[in-house]
Amino acid sequence: MTREIAARRHRAILAELDRTETVTVEELARSLDVSRETIRRDLKALSAEGHLSVVHGGALRNERSEAPFVNRRTVNRTGKEAIAGLAASLVGNGMTVLLDSGTTTEAVARALARSGCERLVVHTTSLENARLASQLPGARVFLIGGEFDRNEDATTGPETLRAIARLSADFSFVSVGGVDAEGRLTDYTRAGAAIRSALLSAAEQGFMMADSSKFGLVLPSRIGTGEPFAGLLVDRLPPAPIASKLTENRVRLLVS
């Protein structure tokens, strides 16, 4: 019976990973009504079977089976749209904007398309963001070149980094994968972190964005470890310990 109960939890955890790219110990313990220690044991067992990778505060699916981009759009959609509205409100007519390929950034592209801003210049690694930005009156839209990543529907790699290095913009908006207990902003891969860091550096004001589902999750690669960036856009304040660390790290929080 105990094994059956554990197997049901494991199926529930994997089903959640099919829906989104990450799970946290806190959320799983609450939704499955078990202790955090039980969830940690479950994640360890699933990791040993190759289903996921355990990280501080939770787990992420192994890269070979990462959730498709289309599935991740549904995770905390309301929070992402709130952040996107705040981001779009910062942008004025005639400005140049850089966008990455995250799901929150796609929400920004949609918000910009509804904003009626005129004569924007938009550079993006994302095919969908390019299409959305092209709906703006008088917009000039540039797709940043590089190797095409089918899972992200975007460009990536060394060619993309070289192209970004030649750009200069008023604003950049990039999505982060996790905000850990030490206030570090992280991504799933080194390649993704490098692209996002480059976009931040190429703008006069670079903003990272994290909806509340990212709080407490640390991923393998850090973003923005070089030059300072303008701030972190969030849909609600992080838990006090994380907010304190972000302040200590001189990260400016803007709540939508």
Q: pLDDT tens digits for 128-153?
A: 999 999 999 999 999 999 999 887 88
**Residue 189 binned pLDDT confidence (cut-offs 50, 70, 90):** confident
Structure tokens at 177: 């994968």
pLDDT tens string 156-176: 999 999 999 999 999 999 999
* Predicted pLDDT at 224: 81
Q: Which tokens in the block code for residue 105?
A: 């950034």
**Which CATH code is given to the segment(s) 72-255?**
3.40.50.1360
Q: Determine the average pLDDT of the residues in 66-79.
A: 67
3-state secondary structure of 227: coil
Q: Which two three-digit tokens encode residue 94?
A: 């005639």
Which residues belong to CATH 3.40.50.1360 in the chain? 72-255
Residues of each domain in the chain carrying CATH 1.10.10.10? 2-67
Count the Cβ atoms, other than its own, within 10 Å of residue 247.
12
pLDDT one-digit tens code per residue, 18-57: 677 788 999 999 999 999 999 999 999 988 877 788 888 8
pTM for the whole structure: 0.75
Is 156 buried (19+), middle (13-18) or exposed (0-12) by CB count in 10 A?
buried
C-beta of residue 256 within 8 angstroms of C-beta of residue 209: no
The CATH topology of domain 2-67 is Arc Repressor Mutant, subunit A (1.10.10)
Please compute, for residue 172, the number of CA atoms within 13 A of its CA located in the half-sphere on the CB side: 29
Task: Indicate the SS3 state at residue 143.
Answer: strand
